[in-house]
């Protein structure tokens, strides 16, 4: 009697789908590896059916390998980012040397390359743990001038709200200015968008500080402000800004700005920042299939206009070069906090003044309004209290004298015409 081998347990349907999307596999590819139809894999991921027998064993082994690869990728993402030296590309421009092939398992999610090319991805949760420690107001030494944003305070250190905000600003603002420049194509609007997003974050700091992804919260606010259609009515943004000096950078930026705003944002988050597809869909408030369709359409348009950028890795590198070519500087964090507080005071005073005006108008209306009801007069009824109409009376002495004078003095005038008889 043979003893059957135990089948490893299967994860939940939602976890199955997450592992497949993390490995950039389609349902058809998974179905081909397991030996079933694509509809069967869809039913397994939705939870309608459960695999059994040899199919269950093959599917469990595939998910286990995907889970192990995902754990290895996460470990590489949390490791210290390697230093990449600057060099010259084939056209003689100053840039970054490409990463040797095979050093990362997912080139589209290459966060080390995104960091060195000034397109930093979402901050890891462990690196921003001190942002949630706002209950303790123990002082902390200020950040040294010129200190890198990639070295936040060690976990467990108590931070004041201002210091936690400054740490988040130093980590995200430099790269976020470049990202918003790619979205809008305007340098001043990029700086204004980042400043406005961090001012809003400082106003809602108790909410942002305990958020799971504070960097993503600020990035979403900056993207929404930069892509707002109301900027076209502002006088300062009615005329286009000077394009990049390099011809290839100018061509890429022109093609990128011709994309619709949702496709532009999806392409920047996935191929530029390095988010995976579910995170990109969540940040753009779309479903995963909708985000995938936007990404594919955007890549098709860019590949049709610029065939050299059909490779996503090359597109990522070129986007980073265009963003890094501009000298975009973000304002200092104390300036942003001060501007946020001034704006909050202004709107608070404006709301108080508006409320006082409404209260004054209401009081004036209540004071001058009639206090009793006066029914209207029905038609045909005599109106009471109206004085009678006066009739002409006797003439006074002055009027009598004037009448006699006018009658006594003949007024000269034209002679009267008489008809002649025939």
Domains in the chain with CATH codes: 13-78 (1.10.260.40), 116-141+150-331 (no CATH)
Mean predicted lDDT score pLDDT of the chain: 76
- Give Cα 244 to chain centroid, integer Å: 24
Up-side HSE of residue 300: CA atoms within 13 Å toward CB? 7
pLDDT of residue 7: 62
> Could you tell me the pLDDT band of residue 142, with boundaries at 50, 70 and 90?
very low
Q: Give the contacts of 193 (CB within 8 A, at least 6 positions apart).
A: 180, 184, 222, 223, 225, 226
Beta bridge pairs of residue 94:
88
C-beta separation of 213 from 122 below 8 A: yes
Q: What are the phi and psi torsion angles at 78 (to 5°)?
A: -85, -10
More confident residue, 335 or 140: 335
pLDDT of residue 410: 67
pLDDT of residue 127: 38
Residue-wise pLDDT for 378-404, tens only, equals 887 777 777 777 777 788 899 899 988
Structure-token pair, residue 50: 């459960």
Structure-token pair, residue 387: 């004085």
More confident residue, 391 or 231: 231
**Highest mean pLDDT (candidates 51-55, 73-77, 232-236, 283-287):** 283-287
Up-side HSE of residue 81: CA atoms within 13 Å toward CB? 21
Closest by alpha carbon to 108, among 256, 275, 279, 323?
275
pLDDT of residue 120: 41
pLDDT at 112 exceeding the cut of 50: no
Closest by alpha carbon to 58, among 104, 10, 92?
10
Residue-wise pLDDT for 160-212, tens only, equals 888 899 889 988 888 899 899 888 888 888 888 999 999 999 999 988 888 88
Residue with the two structure tokens 């490791």: 79
Is the pTM here over 0.85, yes or no? no
Rounded percentage of the chain residues whose pLDDT exceeds 90: 16
More confident residue, 309 or 94: 309
pLDDT of residue 317: 87
The alpha-helical segments, DSSP class H, found in 93-149 are 111-116
More confident residue, 352 or 1: 352
> Residues 248-261: what's their mean pLDDT?
89
pLDDT of residue 333: 83
- Give Cα 89 to chain centroid, integer Å: 34
pLDDT of residue 87: 34
Q: Where are the beta strands (DSSP E) in 49-178?
A: 86-88, 94-96
């Amino acid at each position: 009697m043979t003893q059957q081998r135990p089948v490893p347990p299967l994860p939940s349907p939602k976890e199955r789908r997450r592992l497949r999307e993390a490995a950039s596999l389609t349902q058809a590819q998974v179905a081909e590896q397991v030996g079933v139809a694509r509809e069967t894999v869809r039913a397994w991921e939705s939870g309608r059916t459960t695999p059994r027998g040899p199919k269950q064993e093959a599917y469990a082994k595939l998910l286990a390998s995907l889970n192990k690869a995902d754990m290895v990728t996460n470990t590489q993402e949390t490791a210290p980012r390697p230093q990449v030296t600057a060099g010259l590309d084939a056209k003689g421009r100053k840039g970054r040397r490409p990463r040797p092939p095979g050093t990362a398992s997912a080139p589209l999610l290459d966060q080390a390359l995104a960091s060195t090319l000034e397109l930093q991805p979402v901050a890891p949760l462990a690196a921003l743990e001190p942002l949630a420690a706002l209950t303790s107001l123990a002082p902390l030494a200020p950040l040294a001038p010129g200190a890198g944003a990639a070295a936040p305070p060690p976990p467990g250190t108590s931070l004041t709200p201002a210091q936690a905000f400054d740490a988040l600003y130093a980590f995200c603002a430099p790269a976020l200015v470049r990202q918003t420049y790619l979205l809008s194509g305007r340098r001043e609007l990029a700086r204004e968008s980042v400043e406005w997003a961090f001012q809003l974050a400082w106003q809602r700091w108790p909410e942002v500080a305990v958020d799971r992804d504070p960097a993503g919260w600020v990035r979403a606010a900056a993207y929404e402000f930069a892509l707002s259609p109301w900027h076209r009515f502002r006088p300062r943004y009615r005329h286009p800004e000077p394009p990049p000096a390099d011809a290839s950078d100018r061509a890429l930026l022109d093609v990128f700005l011709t994309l619709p705003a949702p496709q532009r944002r999806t392409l920047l988050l996935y191929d530029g920042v390095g988010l995976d597809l579910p995170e990109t869909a969540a940040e753009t408030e779309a479903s995963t299939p909708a985000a995938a369709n936007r990404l594919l359409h955007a890549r098709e348009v860019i590949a049709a206009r610029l065939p050299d950028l059909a490779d996503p890795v090359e597109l990522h590198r070129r986007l980073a070069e265009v963003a890094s070519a501009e000298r975009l500087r973000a304002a200092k964090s104390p300036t942003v906090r001060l501007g946020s507080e001034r704006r909050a005071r202004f709107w608070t005073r404006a709301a108080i003044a508006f409320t006082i005006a409404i209260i004054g108008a209401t009081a004036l209306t209540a004071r001058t309004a009639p206090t009793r009801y006066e029914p209207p007069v029905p038609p045909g009824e005599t109106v009471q209290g109206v004085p009678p109409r006066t009739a002409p009376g006797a003439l006074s002495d002055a009027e009598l004298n004037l009448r006699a004078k006018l009658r006594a003095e003949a007024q000269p005038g034209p002679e009267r015409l008489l008809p002649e008889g025939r």
